[in-house]
């Protein structure tokens, strides 16, 4: 037996795909799914790529599958919205080589804009879905998913979530299988989904679902564990681990590994063998509604929330009536610690410049820059989904035009759309084409930090490198915007405050669409040279508070025990400062200087450092 390794759930998914002989992987990053693809890229045998978005990723994977290879793609829950179009029809085409689609939900919204339940997609698209509950199962279930995909001629969804994807557990490694190579077989009846052919496939989907239902009744992926039968628990995924932790042998369990389709007889039989039966599942009452449709009076969302994550303590309290332990607590309300733009972040320059335009509306987007919505910058009016900023800015202009309160041009002169390089390529470009095509005059700012930042530094088509770090042809954002029909495209350094301010002013005033590319690499990139920390000269400092208003986490009041900002002496923290020098640029007194000078480290909760 090979030794066990401590693996992230996502790493184990990648290992499973490797062992299953997967040959092609395509994905777009998204927390908590990103490390699946990053780990797939480490296997030389698997062609792995970052696609521009999830729709493309799924289409590449489907093409690879039709071409005969085992293929995998990965995305976060909202990514599946983007990939929903190919998903629903891939259900009809079925597969050539096995096709596994990993989708990671984010209960509790640790890193997401919503909390949707991907299991609904399995039911809606009639696609097999498996759900592992820890790293060992991640590996095992991916391998099963490939085999089942081929056996039943269906794509297979693998549902993950933050606590499975981002927990580590022990995984045993096995050898890579060598699935017999499959030839591509031309089969328009199966792969050309136009009405006549699709109608035939529609029937095949129903037949397949019946067969899968039968499979769900008997498969060992759905396990019954009998201990005390006074309490029965039907559960799946991470919720199973919480409930097992909470109740141990005080309850019996039906752990469902197959989420779609759900078995009927197996669930009924379990229900009848226990005194009271709970369904324990985070988010939607997906299994619960299935039970109710079978006429089973289970306990579910009437006692457990549909919002956020469960805890073992809460389960113990609700099911066993055991109150949680008394624990020590802070004797005062504690300041929150929201995430912030990093020290050195180039986005800071853009939002600080935008803040100089009173009454400006900023249609925002998704990425590190969304953090500009928080104090002290607070320069964002909306953030909905990737790429939405441009369309929303255009919609505002057209709303003003048709309501007649403000002319469309006046509205557009007070509105910008702001989005990152990766987001622009993902789905912002289509919005820009819409603006040009439909005679809008929006100003769009692309924050080009040469990386996909928020999800932890992935290459993208605008960076010039592939996921494996190989140089490749780079999308020229300037030319791309020009080709879409934007005549006013300017590239500016976001830390050059004067030029940036002037450019924004001109482009807002221009009665045609314009794009400002704010270009400076992410401060966390290895290629970015870091100067030593900056320091503040207390003698020169006017205590005006300007540097405290740029929202840099490395600059704080030397004595932060008081809330007063005015009149406070600022200080720069040695361990945090990235040496970008932006604070020195906004300091009117010239009191901030770079490098060499000894800076402070801060300890304790009292004295000024």
Ligand X SMILES: Cc1ncc(C[n+]2csc(CCOP(=O)(O)OP(=O)(O)O)c2C)c(N)n1
Q: Interior CA angle at 572 toward 495 and 453, to 5°?
A: 45
Strand ranges in 264-398 using DSSP code E only, listed in sequence order: 276-280, 361-363
Distance (Å, whole) CA 37 – CA 458: 10
Q: Is 5 helix (H, G, I), strand (E, B) or coil?
A: strand
2 contacts other proteins (rule: CB under 8 A):
no
**Residue 422 CA: distances (Å) to CA of 77, 147, 213, 369, 454:** 18, 34, 41, 12, 10
User: Cβ of residue 449: shortest distance to ligand X, in angstroms?
Assistant: 5
Provide the β-strand partners of residue 556: 571
Provide the β-strand partners of residue 276: 231
- The pattern of x and - marking residues 10 through 49 that bind other proteins according to CB under 8 A reads ---------------------xx-xx--------------
3-class DSSP state for residue 2? coil
Q: Which is nearer to other proteins, 56 or 548 (CB)?
A: 548
* 3-state SS assignment for residue 541: coil
**Residues of this chain, 263-322, that bind other proteins according to CB under 8 A:** 311-313
Compute the least distance from the CB of residue 396 to other proteins, in Å: 27
Nearer to other proteins, 91 or 167 (CB): 167
Stretch that binds other proteins, among 92-100, 185-193, 237-245, 488-496 (CB under 8 A): 237-245
For residue 422, the partner it binds in other proteins, ligand X, none, with Cβ less than 5 to 8 A by kind, is: ligand X
Cβ count near 256 (within 10 Å): 26
- Smallest distance, ligand X to C-beta of residue 129, A: 19
Binding partner of 423, given other proteins, ligand X, none, CB within 5-8 angstroms per partner class: ligand X
Pairwise CA distance, residues 595 & 597, whole Å: 6
521 binds other proteins (CB under 8 A): no
Residue 336, binding choice from ligand X, other proteins, none, Cβ under 5 to 8 Å by partner class? other proteins
**In Å, how far are 54, 130, 237 from 111, measured between CA atoms?**
17, 23, 20
- Residue 29, preceding peptide bond in cis (omega within 30° of 0): no
The answer to whether the peptide bond before residue 376 is cis (omega within 30 degrees of 0) is: yes
Residue 247 binding result from ligand X, other proteins, none, given CB thresholds of 5 to 8 Å by partner type? none
The distance of closest approach from Cβ of residue 77 to ligand X in the complex, given in angstroms and rounded to an integer, is: 9
> Residue 432 CB, nearest distance to ligand X (Å)?
14
Whole-angstrom Cα Rg for the chain: 27
606 binds, among ligand X, other proteins, none (CB under 5 to 8 A by kind): other proteins
Measuring CA to CA, how many Å separate 352 from each of 8, 144, 509, 531? 38, 51, 19, 22
Q: Which does 273 bind (CB under 5 to 8 A by kind): ligand X, other proteins, none?
A: none
Minimum distance, C-beta of residue 603 to other proteins, in the bound complex (Å): 4
CB of 522 to ligand X, least distance (A): 6
In the complex, the smallest distance separating the C-beta of residue 110 from other proteins, rounded to whole angstroms, is 6
3-class DSSP assignment, residue 297: coil
Min CB(524)–ligand X separation in Å: 10
Partner in contact with 163, chosen from ligand X, other proteins, none, beta carbon below 5 to 8 Å by kind: other proteins
For residue 213, the tally of other CB atoms under 10 A from its CB is 16
Would you count residue 565 as binding other proteins (CB under 8 A)? yes
User: Total residues at the site for other proteins (CB under 8 A)?
Assistant: 73
Which of other proteins, ligand X, none binds 82 (CB below 5-8 Å, type-dependent)? ligand X
The smaller minimum CB distance to other proteins, of residues 375 and 471, is found at 375
Q: How far is the CB of 484 from other proteins (least distance, A)?
A: 31
Q: Which of 38, 47, 108, 50 has the alpha carbon at shortest distance from 79? A: 50
Query: Closest CB to other proteins among 375 and 404?
Result: 375
Smaller CB distance to ligand X: residue 67 or 521? 521
Nearer to ligand X, 296 or 447 (CB): 447
Structure tokens of 336?
A: 């929150």
Residue number of the CB closest to ligand X reads 420
Question: Do the Cβ atoms of 568 and 538 come closer than 8 Å?
Answer: no
Distance (Å, rounded) from C-alpha 115 to C-alpha 78?
9
Please report, as residue ranges, which positions from 440 to 499 form the binding site for other proteins (by CB under 8 A): 454-456
- Name the residue nearer to other proteins (CB basis): 195 or 375: 375
Contacts (Cβ under 8 Å, ≥6 apart) of 479: none
540 belongs to the binding site for other proteins (CB under 8 A): no
DSSP per residue, 104-134: EE-TT-SS-S----THHHHHHHT-EEE--SS
List interacting residues with ligand X (CB under 6 A): 28-30, 54, 76, 78-79, 82, 366-369, 386, 420-423, 447, 449, 451-455
Which string of x and - marks every residue 94-133 that binds other proteins (by CB under 8 A)? Answer: ----------------xx----------------------
* 300 in Cβ contact with 285 (< 8 Å): yes
């Amino acid at each position: 037996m090979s030794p066990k390794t401590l693996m992230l759930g996502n790493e184990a998914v990648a290992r499973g795909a490797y062992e299953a002989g997967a040959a092609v992987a395509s994905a777009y990053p998204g927390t908590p799914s990103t490390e699946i693809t990053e780990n797939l890229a480490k296997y030389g045998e698997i062609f792995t790529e970052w696609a521009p978005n999830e729709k493309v990723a799924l289409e590449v994977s489907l093409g690879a599958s039709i071409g005969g290879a085992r293929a995998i793609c990965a995305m976060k829950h909202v990514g599946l919205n983007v990939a929903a179009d190919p998903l629903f029809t891939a259900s009809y085409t079925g597969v050539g080589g096995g096709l596994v689609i990993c989708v990671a939900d984010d209960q509790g919204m640790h890193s997401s804009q919503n909390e949707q339940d991907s299991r609904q997609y399995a039911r809606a698209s009639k696609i097999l879905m498996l759900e592992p509950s820890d790293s060992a199962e991640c590996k095992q279930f991916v391998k099963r998913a490939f085999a089942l995909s081929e056996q039943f001629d269906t794509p297979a969804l693998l549902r993950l979530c933050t606590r499975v994807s981002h927990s580590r557990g022990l995984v045993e490694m096995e050898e890579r299988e060598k699935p017999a190579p499959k030839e591509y077989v031309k089969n328009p009846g199966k792969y050309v989904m136009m009405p006549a052919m699709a109608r035939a496939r529609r029937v095949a989907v129903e037949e397949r679902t019946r067969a899968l239902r039968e499979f769900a009744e008997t498969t060992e992926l759905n396990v019954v564990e009998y201990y005390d039968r006074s309490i029965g628990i039907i559960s799946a995924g991470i919720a199973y681990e919480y409930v097992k932790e909470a109740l141990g042998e005080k309850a019996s369990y039906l752990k469902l590994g197959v989420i779609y389709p759900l078995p009927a007889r197996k669930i009924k039989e379990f229900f009848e063998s226990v005194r009271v039966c709970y369904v324990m599942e985070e988010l939607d009452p997906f299994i619960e509604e299935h039970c109710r449709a079978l006429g089973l009076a289970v306990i579910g969302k009437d006692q457990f929330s549909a919002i956020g994550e469960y805890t073992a303590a809460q389960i113990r309290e609700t099911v066993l009536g055991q109150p949680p332990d008394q624990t020590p607590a802070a004797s005062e309300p504690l300041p929150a610690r929201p995430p912030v733009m990093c020290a050195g972040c180039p986005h800071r320059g853009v939002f600080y410049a935008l803040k100089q335009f009173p009454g400006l509306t900023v249609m925002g987007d998704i990425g590190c820059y969304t953090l500009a919505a928080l104090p002290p910058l607070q320069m964002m009016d909306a953030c909905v989904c990737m790429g939405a900023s441009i369309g929303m800015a255009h919609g505002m202009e057209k709303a003003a035009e048709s309501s007649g309160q403000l002319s469309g041009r006046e509205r557009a002169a007070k509105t910008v759309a702001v989005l990152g390089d990766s987001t622009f390529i993902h789905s912002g470009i289509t919005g820009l084409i819409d603006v040009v095509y439909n005679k809008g005059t929006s100003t769009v700012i692309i924050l080009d930090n040469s990386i996909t930042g928020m999800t932890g530094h992935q290459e993208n088509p605008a960076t010039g490198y592939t996921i494996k770090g190989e140089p490749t042809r780079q999308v020229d954002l300037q030319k791309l915007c020009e080709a879409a029909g934007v005549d006013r495209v300017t590239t500016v350094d976001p830390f050059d405050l004067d030029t940036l301010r002037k450019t924004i002013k001109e482009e807002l005033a221009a009665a045609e669409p314009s794009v400002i590319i704010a270009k400076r690499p992410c401060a966390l990139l290895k290629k970015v040279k870091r100067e030593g920390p900056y320091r503040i000269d207390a003698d020169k400092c006017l205590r005006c508070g300007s540097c405290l208003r740029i929202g840099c986490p490395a600059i704080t009041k030397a004595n932060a025990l008081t809330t007063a900002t005015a009149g406070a002496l600022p200080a720069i923290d040695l361990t945090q400062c990235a040496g970008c020098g932006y604070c020195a640029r906004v300091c009117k007194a010239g009191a901030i200087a770079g490098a060499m000078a000894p800076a402070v480290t801060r300890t304790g909760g009292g004295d000024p450092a």
